[in-house]
Amino acid sequence: MAGNGEAPVPVGTKQEQDRKVRRGWQGAARIWEETEQQAKRLRSSEGGGQHRKLPKRKVVLLVAYSGKGYHGMQRNVGSSKFKTIEDDLVSALVRSGCIPENHGEDMRKMSFQRCARTDKGVSAAGQVVSLKVWLIDDLLEKINSHLPSHIRILGLKRVTGGFNSKNKCDARTYFYMLPTFAFAHKDHDAQDETYRLHAETLGRVNRLLACYRGTHNFHNFTSQKGPREPSARRYILDMFCEEPFVREGMEFAVIKVKGQSFMTHQIRKMVGLVVAIVKGYAPESVLERCWGEAKVDVPKAPGLGLVLERVHFEKYNQRFGHDGLHEPLDWAREEAEVTAFKEQHIYPTIIGTERHERSMAQWLSTLPMHDFGATAHAAAGPGAKVPRPLEGSDGDSD
């Protein structure tokens, strides 16, 4: 038969009835599909679709937290065994409505980055994270409403689209808070809460801490680093101990250190070695030996007193901080809130934990076990395959 059309089918035949049934199914399928699409559009508009109309912008958040009870800052995706600060933070971001739920599952989708990955138990008064969010109304209040009181977002600022808080950070400032009886001579009672730090001893502590300033080979102050690895060389801008103060009948002091970056355990070992020298367990000459290739037994102070106080963005501020579009990342307006958070959450946690668990006193009792006179040749050279330490808490990785 000429033409491409179908041959006519007599009305009432089984073939015609089958064709009508198929057409009915197809029509019903089209109706169901259209209805489902309308329902999806309705659900989208009710459940956050309005956010698509809002601009998604790169911002930085000033985060403060008490690290007790957490296994560090960085989220361990797929693992619920060890709770981290970012677990609570990301959950609050999703629940506040400033990021979609799938961004909480895959943090790369919101370009999330932190300045430093603090380790288990380490706190922060000035952590900074960068990410892309919907700029909804009352953003900070909504995020904080879904966070526990020991985690707070204290500030928010717009930054350039390509900003990365880790890569743009010029330096990090940490402080280490410890009871001053840690500096008492080894013949003194290691748990004497009535001990008070003399000006002469404080002067010696600061003279030793000043030896860390400048660029040195810190391979003895971390793990898994060979003495000839270029990355073991780090630049310390300043390190000093402030005047002591008394809290709850016990005297404490704060050691501050500012450096470009830090390796795993570096700050805690820097503090630990100075304590060992001042107490009389190690000679001052051990500091000079630490810069050499020989492996030196350097004790690691407890993690309890370590706090990330501030991160610095000098180069970014010089280029963008006064361009009329962006603010400098100096957090001067938030300083009072940072101080209040430290007084309410960080200092009481350190003091209370020290009084009840006596982590410093217990650690001091282990110092006689260290052999500060012995050295071993560090075999790891430039060609050795040594695992890279994680970036994070002692500035980058405690």
Nearest Cα to Cα of residue 89 among 49, 127, 134 = 127
Q: Which of 392, 184, 192 is nearest to 303 (CA)?
A: 392
Give which of 275, 288, 293 is closest to 368, Cα–Cα: 275
Query: What is the DSSP annotation of 214-235?
Result: EEEE-GGGSSS--TT-GGGEEE
The tens place of each residue's pLDDT in the chain, 398 residues long, gives 444 444 555 555 556 555 654 565 565 556 545 555 554 444 444 444 555 567 789 999 999 999 999 999 988 776 667 899 999 999 999 999 999 988 888 888 899 999 998 888 899 999 999 999 999 999 999 999 999 999 999 999 999 999 999 999 999 999 999 999 999 999 887 678 899 999 999 999 999 999 999 999 999 999 888 999 999 999 999 999 999 999 999 999 999 999 999 998 999 999 999 999 999 999 999 999 999 999 999 999 999 999 999 999 999 999 998 888 899 999 999 999 999 999 999 999 999 999 999 999 999 999 999 998 766 554 444 444 433 333 444 545 54
Give me the pLDDT at residue 395, please: 45
Note the pTM of the prediction, 2 decimals. 0.81
119 in catalytic set: yes
Which residues define the annotated binding site for substrate? Answer: 174
Choose the catalytic residue: 119, 394, 396, 398. Answer: 119
43's torsion region: left (phi>0), alpha (psi -120 to 50) or beta? alpha
Pair 160, 321: CB distance under 8 Å:
no
Binding residues: 174
